[in-house]
Amino acid sequence: MRNVLKISLFAVAFMVCGASSLFAQKFAYINRSELVTAMPERDSAEKKMIAFQNDLQSQLEAIQVEFNNKYQDFQKASGTLSDAVRQLKEKELRDLQSRFDEFQMTAQQDLQKMQDQLMSPVIARANEAIAKISKSNGYAAVFDLSSDATAYIDQETLTNLLPMVKKELGIK
């Protein structure tokens, strides 16, 4: 009977300690988008992205100008062209339009790949700094306010990690 009582008291003590340690957990929040926007590497990545986008845009415009010129030439000469030449010119215009559409689609995909390639290291560095600060300060969880996944956070009861992470990254 005494052993049962000891086991029961031990179980109750264990549950109380476990419950109190649950309430002792520390939580924080951060706006990861704001952090990434403040990082100097993002500015460099954005400049490269804009240059890449401008290059693609120039190529698209060149194809569009070529199409417009050929279309205008076709319209001017359409009354004097034989059926065979007219069909050939129409096919040439359709092919050029198709080439433009394909290039535009490929350009959008390339632009997305370039953005992912340029931003991945920046985001990884931000995540590493968040993890380092969170771990060193004993936070059990950090909520990201830049995502819509969080239904509600009472910011007055949590710590904002943004200033500490910015300091870790050398951002003012």
pLDDT digits (tens, 9 = 90+) for 80-131: 989 999 999 999 999 999 999 999 999 999 999 999 999 999 999 999 999 9
Instruction: Check: pTM over 0.85? Answer yes or no.
Output: no
Q: Is 22 helix (H, G, I), strand (E, B) or coil?
A: helix
Q: Is 109 helix (H, G, I), strand (E, B) or coil?
A: helix
Instruction: Go through the domains of the chain in sequence order and give each one's CATH number.
Output: 2-169 (3.30.910.20)
Report the DSSP beta bridge partners of residue 139: 26
Smallest Cα–Cα separation from 121: which of 50, 59, 48? 48
pLDDT in tens, 19-64: 444 556 889 999 999 999 999 999 999 999 999 999 999 999 999 9
122 neighbors 49 (Cβ within 8 angstroms): no
